[in-house]
Amino acid sequence: LVPMFFVPLGHLKSRDWFQRDMLSDVQEELLKRALTHGIRQSKGLLTEFFDWEGAHTTAYRSAFRGFIGFLELIAKMHGLYSPANRPGRSIEDPNRYPDRLPIPTIPVRE
């Protein structure tokens, strides 16, 4: 999730399109939520997909976790971290619980 701004190229390059002071409240809130979303997602990705094997795994994982924590601390100190409005949801793998899978039915002609 990355909020995009217009980046002028070519003939439009010389004009002043974006200034930090001209951010609207909506754009500012969007940037805060995008930063918060990125921090939360990086924590989730780190725990779910960082499954290397070996002794170096613990060092890498703790270094990444520390870096993410540092970014979160800086964001909170500057008031850029927006709290979650709703509880988080997890995506379940449907193959984990095969009894919950829908049973395919084949129509029969009579």
Q: What is the pTM of this model?
A: 0.61
Name the pLDDT band for 66 (thresholds 50, 70, 90): very high
Predicted pLDDT of residue 101 = 63
**The two structure tokens encoding residue 95:** 């193959």
**pLDDT of 70 over the 90 cut:** yes
pLDDT single digits (tens) 8-56: 676 667 777 666 677 788 888 888 888 888 898 888 888 777 766 777 7
Least trusted range by pLDDT, from 2-6, 25-29, 71-75? 2-6
pLDDT band at 68 (very low <50, low <70, confident <90, very high): very high
Can you read off the two tokens belonging to residue 79?
Answer: 């008031």
